[in-house]
Amino acid sequence: MVGTSLRPKRGKRLAAFFLDALTIGCVSILVNLFSWNVSLALPSVKEATLSLAAAQKNVSDVIVSSHLNSFTEKGQFYAQNYLAEKYVVSLAKGSLLFHGVEEKDLSSFYADTPAINETNDRAYYYFVTFKTEHQNGYPSQDESGQNFYQELISKDLGGIFSQEGYPFLQEESAKILDEGLRNEDYKPGQNLKTKLVTRYLELLKKGAADLSTNYQPYLEAESAYLQKRNDFSRIQIAVAVLSSFVSGLILLSIVPICNENRTIGQLVLKLDSENENGDPPSRGKSALQHAFFPLLLPMIAIFPVLFTPGFGADLLLCPLTGPLGLIFYASISLILLFIDYLFTFFGVKDTAYERLAKTHLKMREGLHGTETR
């Protein structure tokens, strides 16, 4: 039978490969969802989950205590642009009250807005109060204090802030801003609003950068969080890799053993496997052909990398955990297979793992659309 069996067209072989790949991808996602839910019940995973949540809370607590940000009702930090916009409205109200306007005489526009003060001004509190009270946590106190903040907030704005005490707006500037907030067509007020929002946004970003790079308790909390996240990510990656491997093992090894040595893609496209002498391969050789070379070897190569200290999960942490990790690790084997199949378009009749297993694909007898050996 050698030399007479009918080979499938390359396009048909590739179609069978893509059908198998699609099936593995879908099954891998289902297996991953099931495996992850099961793993969450394990004590070690529960502990890792709780430790990660606690470490994340410690980081958030430091940020909240600095007053640079706080949580929304949905448990997320406010956007800095939003905080800057709110500051400007509060500044306008607080400045009008500071200059003697009665609250009952203010526009209803300010009804739900607190007047600005030393505590609810986030940037002022951080640079003037927080850094002073927690000076032991900083390497230096150069960028802190009333004068430092006054200089930051008023730089290049033409003396619109009061120079004594908390920096409210000068009376005329407060009236211009008030009119601009209530009337979008009032250009001087709108321009002043834009300048103040931009300046305050700069202060919030400067404070956040200072906190995250200089405040020792934050650095310690962040370091602990990153370590816990690495530990948790290793679990996610392991589940993703195992899900991909188990799915491929089922579809590329067990299914062919139970289905005349054919994968789902080969079954749909009516392809068979045979030895070099034309006989059907044994079940062991079928498993070797379909699973070991395209599936197991890439996984053996991946696992040591994942768990190498200082490299594995640390390197692959952010983009490649959870569902994205599953897709990535499953794709490693599929990409290797695809490259192997591409060689068949350049005069190579069998893929590498077919040659290693000493088997090849053929059309089922009586079917057309073939290449002769």
Q: Which of 214, 239, 265 is the last residue of a domain?
A: 214
Residue-level pLDDT at 332:
59
Quick one: 157 and 228 in the same domain? no
**Percent of the chain clearing pLDDT 70 (strictly above):** 72
Quick one: 97 and 188 in the same domain? yes
Alpha-carbon distance of 45 to 48, in angstroms, equals 5
Quick one: 47 and 78 in the same domain? no
From the list 317, 351, 321, 322, the residue with the least C-alpha distance to 337 is 351
Quick one: 227 and 253 in the same domain? yes
Domain total for the chain? 2
Per residue in 27-81, pLDDT (tens digit) is: 877 887 888 888 888 888 899 999 999 999 999 999 999 999 999 999 999 999 9
Residue-level pLDDT at 360:
64
Alpha-carbon distance of 7 to 370, in angstroms, equals 5
Quick one: 247 and 366 in the same domain? yes
Quick one: 321 and 248 in the same domain? yes
Q: Is residue 19 part of a domain?
A: yes
Quick one: 368 and 227 in the same domain? yes
Q: Is residue 118 part of a domain?
A: yes
Quick one: 181 and 271 in the same domain? no
Q: Which of 214, 233, 254 is the last residue of a domain?
A: 214
Quick one: 72 and 197 in the same domain? yes
- Burial (CB count within 10 angstroms: exposed 0-12, middle 13-18, buried 19+), residue 212: middle
Per residue in 196-238, pLDDT (tens digit) is: 999 999 999 999 999 999 999 999 999 999 989 888 877 877 7
Only one residue has tokens 């030399």, namely 3
Q: What is the mean pLDDT of the chain?
A: 80
Q: Is residue 62 part of a domain?
A: no
Per residue in 85-112, pLDDT (tens digit) is: 999 999 999 999 999 999 999 999 999 9
Domain that holds residue 71: 67-214
Q: Is residue 1 part of a domain?
A: no
Q: Is residue 79 part of a domain?
A: yes
**Contact yes or no for 169/162 (Cβ under 8 A):** yes
Quick one: 181 and 252 in the same domain? no
Between these two residues, 113 and 314, which has the higher pLDDT value? 113
